[in-house]
A and B are shown apart, each in its own frame.
Chain A
Amino acid sequence: MSSTNNQDFLPRSQKWLQISGWLLPFLYVLIVAALYGAFLYAPRERVMGEVQRIFYFHLGSAWNCFLAFFAVALAGVLYLVTRNEFWDHVAAASAEIGIVFATIVLATGSIWARPIWNTWWPWGDPRVTTMLVLWLIYVAYLILRSSLPDGEKKFKLCAVFGIIGFLDVPIVWMSIRWWRTIHPVVIASSGGGLAPKMVHALMIAVPAFTVLYLTALLLRTAMHLHQGVARELNQAVLERGRP
């Protein structure tokens, strides 16, 4: 089943590689603009000082890690509905990129917490703990993927795992509203208390990271497809070569 399927996806993956190439100039411009916004355009925060500038890339990564894990869940649903292996490749690529962003979120959050909260890691804080759980869920997802042989059973299990794992994302998002926490509420109905120039800087950093996510997703999915095709063709050649 999968041999013909993966080869059918080849024209699509070529197109994706082409689109990711087109996205690269936008990505470079946006990243430079995001750095300008974070370091030069946004004003110095009065209480936290310079270290607050970590926040722009921290939030950009957080938003895209949620987006990446949403894509894993969506691709899981699409796989279960269509039984098309293509969606499994998308889910695998998105989970991997989501973990990269989640790692950035946890690391930058910890570095910001040291001077502000006087601790590297506030154990017991709901936002920090649920975020760590989210990271662990998707690390487990990748371990599960690598430990199972390719086939419908693996794709089905991973799709279900990806959908259930996504349930932690709304919990992470709502944790600062549901429980007592020292984590600041940045996006609130009252505006979150950010200066307009800080909001502008954030409005550049988040799209910059979103374009980075999309570029990486296109590239990584295409690589997954190519890897699958190479493996299947190798297998076919070896089988035909047998006496």
Chain B
Amino acid sequence: MNTYLFAGYVVVWTVLFLYLLFLNKRQRQIGEDLKSLSDAIRRRNK
């Protein structure tokens, strides 16, 4: 019985943690987009 309870809460925290990882990846992607944007602007202004 306790094994199932443990498994239930492990699933809750794992799903939430994986979603946080996904958000982190997306945030990094936005950072890369902004970096390539600032690079493009710098190149144009040279």
A interface residues with partner B (beta carbon < 8 Å): 49-51, 53-54, 57-58, 61, 97, 100, 103-104, 107-108, 111-112, 114-115, 216, 219-220, 223, 226-227, 230-231, 233-234, 237-238, 240-241
A104 touches B15 (CB 8 A): yes
> Cα distance A61–B11 when bound, in Å?
12
Which residues of B from 4 to 46 have beta carbons under 8 Å from A? 4-5, 7-9, 11-12, 15-16, 19, 23, 26-27, 29-30, 33-34, 36-37, 40-41, 43-44
A58, A220, A226 interface centre (most CB from chain B within 10 Å): A226
B8, B16, B27 interface centre (most CB from chain A within 10 Å): B8
Task: Determine the chain A residues whose CB is within 8 A of the CB of B4 once the complex forms.
Answer: 51, 54, 111-112, 114-115
B15 touches A103 (CB 8 A): yes
B34 touches A230 (CB 8 A): yes
Known: A50-B2, A100-B15, A100-B16. A227 touches B41 (CB 8 A): no
A238 touches B40 (CB 8 A): yes
B interface residues with partner A (beta carbon < 8 Å): 1-2, 4-5, 7-9, 11-12, 15-16, 19, 23, 26-27, 29-30, 33-34, 36-37, 40-41, 43-44
Interface of B is mostly: helix
A237 touches B37 (CB 8 A): yes
Known: A111-B7, A219-B23, A240-B44. A49 touches B1 (CB 8 A): yes
Known: A230-B37, A234-B33. A108 touches B8 (CB 8 A): yes
Task: Determine the chain B residues whose CB is within 8 A of the CB of A114 once the complex forms.
Answer: 4
B33 touches A220 (CB 8 A): no
Interface of A is mostly: helix
Task: Determine the chain A residues whose CB is within 8 A of the CB of B1 once the complex forms.
Answer: 49-51, 115
B44 touches A241 (CB 8 A): yes
* Closest CB in chain B relative to A128 CB, distance in Å: 16
B40 touches A111 (CB 8 A): no
Task: Determine the chain B residues whose CB is within 8 A of the CB of A104 once the complex forms.
Answer: 11-12, 15-16
Task: Determine the chain A residues whose CB is within 8 A of the CB of B43 once the complex forms.
Answer: 241
Can you report 21 residue pairs joining A to B where beta carbons are below 8 Å apart?
A50-B5, A51-B5, A51-B8, A54-B4, A57-B12, A61-B12, A97-B19, A100-B19, A104-B11, A107-B11, A108-B12, A111-B8, A223-B27, A227-B29, A230-B30, A230-B34, A233-B37, A234-B40, A238-B40, A240-B44, A241-B40
Apart from A111-B11, A112-B4, A216-B19, what are 18 other A-B pairs with CB-CB below 8 Å?
A49-B1, A50-B2, A51-B5, A54-B4, A54-B5, A54-B8, A57-B12, A104-B15, A107-B8, A108-B8, A111-B7, A111-B8, A223-B27, A227-B29, A230-B30, A230-B34, A234-B36, A237-B37
